[in-house]
Structure 1
Amino acid sequence: MNGVWKAYNIFHYIKLAGIWISGISVLLMMLMIVYDVTMRTLFSSSIRGGFEIIQNYMMPLVVFPGLAYVYASGVLPKMDLILERLNKKAKKIMIFFMLLLELFVLVLIVQFSWEYAMSGLDRKTAFPAAGTLYPLYPLFFLIPIAFAMIVIENIFIFIKNILDNNPSMVMRETENKPEELL
């Protein structure tokens, strides 16, 4: 189990990098909007193509890099009320079933979003802003990467439930966890 925790600890740093990217993107988006509103209000001018840049660049950078961290944090609903009422064996079976179902759906999302990103790359998808075409296709790859990281998280949870006697839908818990991860 220690090897799994070490690998998960490395993966945790990758998820933290995603959260930092999302946080910095929120900050940049906020500064860009404040600057644009100030310029419009005081000087009757604005950032040319600012709305399109925020919509097509900043918003995906806010959402997708941090998605795996949010999923791993356990804030998303996961049938906790039902699982608490089951005995340990039934709970473990239900968790395995839900994890396999999630993995199936998430792998499909990764596959189809990867195909879409590759199609965008082939077509060199772009968007117009202020009379210039800006490339959009690189951001298409954020989607399969984000969902692939959730697949990896679910694989870690699956392995944890195989090796551990305490079934759970999250990887990080306060009990039975090595001290360096607290």
Structure 2
Amino acid sequence: MEGVLKAYKVFQYLKVIGVWVSGISVLVMMFFISYDVFVRNVFSGSIRGGFEIVQNYLMPLVVFPSLAYVYSSGVLPKMDLIMDKLGARMKKGLIFMMLLIELFILALIVQFSWEFAMNGLERKTAFPAAGTMYPLYPLFFMIPIAFAMIFIENIFILIRNLKEEKASLLVIDKSGELEGF
């Protein structure tokens, strides 16, 4: 099981890289918008295509790279109130059922979003901003990558639940310790 622990630690680094990409994107978006507002108010002009660049490049870069980290942190609701009222055996069975359903749905999302990204690549999908066409299709690949990382996180949660008697919806417990490995 030591190999699974090492794989999860590498996976955690990938998730943290995604958080950094999202954080840097938030800062770039903040400075970009602030600069645009300053230029608009002081010089009566604006960054040409600024809205489209923020909308099509920076906003997806804020959301998708950090999605797996947010999912694994436990801040998203996961039926905790209902789970606490169930017995250990029923709780474990419900968690297995939920994980299998999530894995199935995530696999479908990854498959269809990958097909969408490949279609965008074939068509060289772009958007107009300030009279220039900017490529949009590279950002389409962030969607299947983000959901594939959530799929991998669920695999680690499934492995943890197979190894440990106490069922959980997280790989890492609330104290920050890795459980089940």
Q: Which TM-score tier does this pair reach, normalised by the shorter chain? A: over 0.9
For residue 165 of structure 1, report the CA deviation from its aligned partner.
1.2
8 Å CA contact 2:67–2:146 kept in 1: the answer is yes
For 1:19 and 1:2, locate their aligned partners in 2 and report how far apart those are by CA, in whole Å: 26
Q: Which runs of 5+ in 2 are unaligned?
A: none
For residue 117 of structure 1, report the CA deviation from its aligned partner.
0.2
For 1:89 and 1:160, locate their aligned partners in 2 and report how far apart those are by CA, in whole Å: 16
For residue 166 of structure 1, report the CA deviation from its aligned partner.
1.4
Structure 1 position 56 matched with structure 2 position 56: yes
Instruction: Give the RMSD, CA atoms, in angstroms.
Output: 1.4
Q: TM-score, normalised by structure 1?
A: 0.95
| Stretches of 4+ aligned residues off by more than 6 angstroms | none
Trace 1:153-164 onto structure 2 (pairs within 5 A): 153-164=153-164
Structure 1 position 75 matched with structure 2 position 75: yes
For 1:4 and 1:92, locate their aligned partners in 2 and report how far apart those are by CA, in whole Å: 21
**Residue equivalent to 1:124:** 124
CA deviations 1:31-67 (Å, max 9, x no partner) are 0000000000000111110000000000000000000
For 1:175 and 1:46, locate their aligned partners in 2 and report how far apart those are by CA, in whole Å: 48
Aligned AA (1:120): G
Q: Which runs of 5+ in 1 are unaligned?
A: none
For 1:68 and 1:97, locate their aligned partners in 2 and report how far apart those are by CA, in whole Å: 21
Q: TM-score, normalised by structure 2?
A: 0.96
Any idea what SS the aligned residue of 2:154 has?
A: helix
Aligned AA (2:141): F
